[in-house]
Structure 1
């Protein structure tokens, strides 16, 4: 494993994007979605970045990149079509031990940005370590069909009950059993069918039930497989 997969908290953190084109715009949009304070350093901005600037979603400093631009930044992304500028961004960021991503140049990256499936707060990330971005996008496309948007609503719904569940069950094992029952049962089916209010009521009713955990504990039987032939299970 060449890279450690992590999710970074960027809410309110200063992040720098160097570049004013569409690639820079896409990277800035991801940072904005993560709640970062996005600074864009570029002589000119694309139409989409101009719109973001007009909406107050980014801060723009016109002109060419300078090493001092990295000061105080939580992370830096170089998204220009100038190899010399990208190398300068990498050098300035690494000198300050600031995480840096240089688009389409894994050798100059101290972190990489994966292809993501966004079902907030559920996020699935796919990376090939920079070796094959096209393959990562193909895998992401498959995951998008497997993870419907309802998973995001389901996750938000369970978050609303976390404190109640912790208060109801002292043991982590009991909380796990409760959530497994909720997420694998009718509640999930209701959310996928758009019946969110009904699902909330079922969660509350289950939580209020005196046997919310005990009733879900089953039995395990030891099965002998003999030599491995499925017809010889005992």
Structure 2
């Protein structure tokens, strides 16, 4: 994150605006709407700017900028059409440890002015860090259409109920659950439509009927293979309302960052021969946090029911009487093969596909190898990097030809994705030479030969 988003209370606060033209006028409108006391310094100040800032709290000085203008201000905006002047203002402001925004020159300043969608008291602001202002404006236009003007009325109504809600519920989680329920109810819809009397009545009724929560709920959510764009809508919604997040090492940082920021994060990841926490302890954590009335997110890479031990976890929850939901995710076999241009089935190459774990619960490889020799069947091995030599050897012993195509996909669907192709006879050598690291997925079968023709995903730097 290049910049920390921050909302400033500038009411009656002195802000220096250097410049008097159209650019300065646009900045002055924003500052004025925020209640700032604007000190304008410019050799010539436009009539529109003078009219806008005719209030006595503002100061207009038609002269050249001076370093002394920086005294007793809390924020500086350099908005002249002279880049040299703007940079000098910025340099002197930084020397005084003042935040300064330089129009159309983000690198010269220490603050940027975001694109704003104003539904006061709801205000949305976003930025491209000065790199693509036109894109920021386009995004603003989209957001303007998504946020009805009535959201401001809804926020104001909610604010008027805060004290009542705080008095009704002593626990933070109970208050949060109430708000999430009422803000997606008919009360919210009435407020957005402008029918505040009806909205207030429904608010009151729901508050009177609400009860404190004794037991929370567990969300078992598949986070997919790594690309956050592959999350389902339901997964994202539950991720953003969970109080506690238990996550494993296969959940990408990009996916994890979409969880609610103020949730408690607990890492329970596993690596081969090294578990951060035993599975029984993870199961108990889910139960314990839910019994505290919390909403618990168990976030797993891929799909929780495909080699994700999700069944073991909800078995415990069911025995303990803990409510739960399960949200499927795109499993690694589907995501990684697709992003590698390898269709798992193709009527000219394979009519079935088999998902196989690379090692069993006791780390053995006691698999039904004799069932995996059919050339019309694609094999997908999860967690098979360490066992790759054994996998290739066993398949050849059972009669699968040594020239059978094999692909190994590292960090599939992410910008670090790498795909290595070869055969049962030589793929191990390629993996060793390229220092491949988990997470990986192994695909065995004739469909791998389509990779060069069908690959479409281009990771950064490729």
TM-score, length-scaled by structure 1: 0.89
Relative to structure 1, the CA distance from residue 201 to residue 78 in structure 2 (aligned partners, 3 Å threshold; closer, same or farther) is same
Q: CA deviation at 1:192?
A: 2.5
Is the counterpart of residue 220 in structure 1 residue 323 in structure 2?
A: yes
SS in 2 for 1:72: coil
CA distance in 2: counterparts of 1:134 and 1:57, whole angstroms: 33
Alignment map for 1:77-156 (pairs within 5 Å): 77-156=77-156
Is the counterpart of residue 42 in structure 1 residue 19 in structure 2?
A: no
| Structure 1, 49-58 or 67-76: larger mean CA deviation | 49-58
Maintained 8 Å contact 1:119/1:149: yes
Relative to structure 1, the CA distance from residue 146 to residue 222 in structure 2 (aligned partners, 3 Å threshold; closer, same or farther) is closer
Name the structure where helix makes up a greater proportion of residues.
1
Alignment deviations for residues 79-128 of structure 1 (CA, whole Å, 9 cap, x no partner): 00012211221121011000001100011110101101111111111210
Relative to structure 1, the CA distance from residue 108 to residue 11 in structure 2 (aligned partners, 3 Å threshold; closer, same or farther) is same
Which position in structure 2 is the counterpart of 1:196? 196
CA distance in 2: counterparts of 1:151 and 1:164, whole angstroms: 21
CA distance in 2: counterparts of 1:193 and 1:97, whole angstroms: 46
Which position in structure 1 is the counterpart of 2:13? 13
Which structure has more relative contact order (CA 8 Å, sep 6+)? It is: 1
Name segments (4+ residues, structure 1) moved above 6 Å. Answer: none
Which position in structure 2 is the counterpart of 1:205? 205
Maintained 8 Å contact 1:32/1:57: no
CA distance in 1: counterparts of 2:187 and 2:35, whole angstroms: 30
Which position in structure 1 is the counterpart of 2:319? none
Which position in structure 2 is the counterpart of 1:167? 167
Which position in structure 2 is the counterpart of 1:23? 23
CA distance in 2: counterparts of 1:182 and 1:125, whole angstroms: 25
Name the structure where strand makes up a greater proportion of residues.
2
Q: CA deviation at 1:222?
A: 4.8
CA distance in 2: counterparts of 1:55 and 1:120, whole angstroms: 22
Once superposed, what is the RMSD of the aligned Cα atoms? 2.4
Which position in structure 2 is the counterpart of 1:232? none
SS in 2 for 1:110: coil
CA distance in 2: counterparts of 1:108 and 1:201, whole angstroms: 52
Q: CA deviation at 1:22?
A: 1.3
Alignment deviations for residues 116-165 of structure 1 (CA, whole Å, 9 cap, x no partner): 11111111112100000000000110000001111111001101111111
CA distance in 1: counterparts of 2:57 and 2:144, whole angstroms: 27
Maintained 8 Å contact 1:40/1:60: yes
CA distance in 2: counterparts of 1:51 and 1:160, whole angstroms: 36
Which runs of no fewer than 5 residues in structure 1 stay unpaired?
230-234
Maintained 8 Å contact 1:20/1:44: yes
Which position in structure 2 is the counterpart of 1:62? 62
Relative to structure 1, the CA distance from residue 213 to residue 47 in structure 2 (aligned partners, 3 Å threshold; closer, same or farther) is farther
Relative to structure 1, the CA distance from residue 169 to residue 83 in structure 2 (aligned partners, 3 Å threshold; closer, same or farther) is same
SS in 2 for 1:35: coil
Which runs of no fewer than 5 residues in structure 2 stay unpaired?
218-321, 335-462
CA distance in 2: counterparts of 1:65 and 1:206, whole angstroms: 58
Maintained 8 Å contact 1:206/1:212: no
Maintained 8 Å contact 2:121/2:155: yes
Alignment deviations for residues 44-79 of structure 1 (CA, whole Å, 9 cap, x no partner): 211221102334463212200001101111110000
Relative to structure 1, the CA distance from residue 84 to residue 163 in structure 2 (aligned partners, 3 Å threshold; closer, same or farther) is same
Maintained 8 Å contact 2:90/2:108: yes
| Structure 1, 160-169 or 128-137: larger mean CA deviation | 160-169
Larger radius of gyration: 2
Maintained 8 Å contact 2:101/2:111: yes
Which position in structure 1 is the counterpart of 2:178? 178
